[in-house]
Amino acid sequence: MRPQSVAATNVVRFPGPRATASQNRDQKGLLDTVYTNGAFVVAAEDRETKLMASRLQVFGFLNIAEISMDGSIKTLRPSESASLSLSRPWRLSRPSFDELPPLAG
């Protein structure tokens, strides 16, 4: 007599519903939003998104610009964006590969 086959699996399901990730709270979602739309405006008081964006800027995935009261834009360097000013909104955009320095050698 043959025993009935039982599907063996190494996946354990945790009880409860899965948490949904916000488009603006995780790095992949933030990058997807910026790369799909071309730009994304972050509210002045959104500290978590600004912190995540400043980390992504250090690695060259984003450009960050600060929007002033008159609507002019000032591009921030990674050292400037790390200070996390909560007084002005930011504009996140895709980096232009034309702005990269030429490879040496």
Question: Residue-wise pLDDT tens for the chain (105 aa)?
Answer: 555 555 656 766 677 766 665 544 588 889 999 999 989 999 999 999 999 999 999 999 999 999 999 989 999 998 888 887 788 999 999 987 655 556 565
pTM for this model (two decimals)? 0.68
Element (H, E) at 102: none
Which residue range is the domain that position 43 belongs to? 27-95
Confidence at residue 81, expressed as pLDDT on a 0 to 100 scale: 86
Confidence at residue 24, expressed as pLDDT on a 0 to 100 scale: 46
Quickly tell me which residue has 């509210």 as its tokens. 43
Confidence at residue 57, expressed as pLDDT on a 0 to 100 scale: 93
Residue 44 lies in a domain: yes
Residue 11 lies in a domain: no
Question: Counting beta carbons within 10 angstroms of the beta carbon of residue 87, is it exposed (0 to 12), middle (13 to 18) or buried (19 or more)?
Answer: exposed
Residue 14 lies in a domain: no
Token readout for 102 is 């030429």
Q: Where are the alpha helices (DSSP H) in the chain?
A: 27-37, 47-58, 78-81
What is the rounded distance in angstroms from the CA atom of residue 23 to the CA atom of residue 2?
51
Residue 84 lies in a domain: yes
Residue 37 lies in a domain: yes
